[in-house]
Structure 1
């Protein structure tokens, strides 16, 4: 051993212990931060929500790291978490729409059924007065009286028909010739019959035919009896004094129950050439006679 100089302090010698143990004053070790902890061990799985109770508002105890924001974020298998309204356009909206549509349909059915029970049928039974629709109305038209003037029979009359749950319509058009020498028709005859099966035509029929002269100042209207429930004779005469220009027309409109009928005759003076067409009064008598027999053919009872 060497002698140390007097001015150098002595160095402390390290103490050894046969058994390791804590030091007298241990150095405090800082608590691990959440970030470092996440690197070494997995985060715990989210716990299920506790049942509502008196302490529901209390902050839950955090076991690992710092306390997370409350409530913790959770993944729900079906849309929004329970207790929250569904977003617009999501499955919840469609479900509610279907539900309300079903409720509306049931309510409408109940109201409709209630209306039927309270009000009864929507309309009365159709009063067709025994008339039957014809697919070929021309086969039932009788114009014997008119053939006093028009001897030549039309072998090719035109006809049409319409059949519907609301109305049946039949129509016939006949060309009238005074003789076989006539190259063209001297006059025209048309017949129409309508069977109204869902609505009563009476108000509209009266309005149209009783006020027919409002549409054309040359027409005259006369209500006639002896034909169904009501009938109107409509006439027009625009011929000059010589009868070689202008036109003449006769229409007889009849309503019998919910059946409506019209027979119309018309001619132009130019069609007769040097002769004059028959007078309005005379044609009116022919049309009335032929209407009566035709209506009988349309009601076979």
Structure 2
């Protein structure tokens, strides 16, 4: 998520910017009976039917088939689809039996939910990029012509970075803004574009920019309409009654799974004594105009 970056070469007075199934042990059978789980059934003795198919057998001893000897071991153990399932004796504590049943049911439900979750997520992983693409050089791909009247000198060495990944395409640009005859930067402009290809950035974008003034003291936040799905303007002016203050503005936009930000910052110490940086209302108009133009240009 883009936040206002710290600009390079800022004056020293610049402010900071913004396994096995968990069956319980079986209940002890009536006095005189054996305890524990039965050993594996002899091939000569057929496996008993599951109590899932015969719910009336729950809590009743398993009766041997005619002509067959009684099955050794716990007479209250019945053969389930995943192995022996202990069943409490009649009149005993039936909580363990119910726990076993609910454990099996829970496992089946959990497995089904997992399968549905995989299906839903797998079917909704296409990013809503609205036709945007990330250029190899955002400094040349972005429009900032609205600033040219105030800062006509070109930056001879702007900084740009590009990232291309299956989850994210990203482009950034940092450049200096210079007035006529200036040897050093009078202001700074930072631009960032993110194409989120695996996750929807909407919740985090809103949380970051809508509440920016809650986490950054001294900033004002204004919601902007008419640009993307949502946009926020963040500003700060510390020049009133000061000779070393600054003016700062960022316009952050989200359109589908694309996020874009354009940030301006200027410092009184960078200007001549008889001049001041442009007012914030001028700067915010430039940001809005150039952002709209840039986003149109970045659509396929």
Q: TM-score, normalised by structure 2?
A: 0.60
Paired residue total = 190
Question: 3-state DSSP class of the match of 1:148?
Answer: coil
- Determine which structure has more spread, i.e. the larger CA radius of gyration: 1
Question: What SS does the corresponding residue of 2:277 show, helix, strand or coil?
Answer: coil
Q: Corresponding residue for 2:254?
A: 255
Unaligned runs of 5+ in 2: 1-110
Question: Quick one: distance in 1 between partners of 2:214 and 2:270?
Answer: 28
Aligned partner of 2:55 in structure 1 is none
Give unmatched runs, 5+ long, in structure 1.
1-110
The 1:248–1:118 alpha-carbon spacing in structure 2 relative to 1, beyond 3 Å, is closer
Question: Does structure 1 residue 236 correspond to structure 2 residue 236?
Answer: yes
Q: 1:280 aligns to what? A: 280
**1:121 equivalent in alignment to 2:121:** yes
Matched, 1:264 2:263: yes
Residue number in structure 2 paired with 1:245: 244
- Counterparts of 1:182-193 in structure 2, within 5 Å, are 182-193=182-193
Whole-angstrom CA distance in 2 between matches of 1:134 and 1:151: 24
- Cα distance in 2 between the residues matched to 1:118 and 1:156: 48
Deviations 1:15-48 (A, max 9, x none): xxxxxxxxxxxxxxxxxxxxxxxxxxxxxxxxxx
Q: CA deviation at 1:114?
A: 6.3
| Structure 2 residue 150 is the aligned partner of structure 1 residue 149 | yes
Per-residue deviation, 1:183: 1.4
Counterpart Cα distance in 2 of 1:195 and 1:118: 24
CA RMSD of aligned residues (A): 2.1
Q: Distance in 2 between matches of 1:117 and 1:282?
A: 49
Higher relative contact order (CA 8 A, sep 6+): 2
- The Cα shift of 1:278 comes to 0.7
Query: Aligned partners of 2:131, 2:227: CA distance in 1, in Å?
Result: 14
Partner of 1:214: 214
- 1: CA distance, partners of 2:191 / 2:126: 26
Q: How does 1:33-182 map to 2 (within 5 A)?
A: 115=115, 119-122=119-122, 123-179=124-180, 181-182=181-182
- Matches of 1:112 and 1:154, distance apart in 2: 59
CA distance in 2, matches of 1:116, 1:273: 65
| CA distance in 1: counterparts of 2:215 and 2:230, whole angstroms | 21
Q: 1:199 to 1:273 in 2, by over 3 A?
A: same
Q: Is the 8 A contact 1:244 1:276 kept in 2?
A: no
* Structure 1 residue ranges (4+ consecutive) displaced by more than 4 angstroms after TM superposition: 111-114
Say whether the 8 Å CA contact 1:239–1:269 is kept in structure 2: yes
Q: In 1, Cα distance between the equivalents of 2:239 and 2:136?
A: 37
Q: Deviations over 1:121-142 (max 9, x none)?
A: 3444210010001121111111
Q: State the distance in 2 between where 1:120 and 1:195 align.
A: 22
Structure 1 residue 119, shift from structure 2 partner: 3.8
CA offset at residue 154 of structure 1?
1.5
Q: TM-score, normalised on structure 1?
A: 0.60
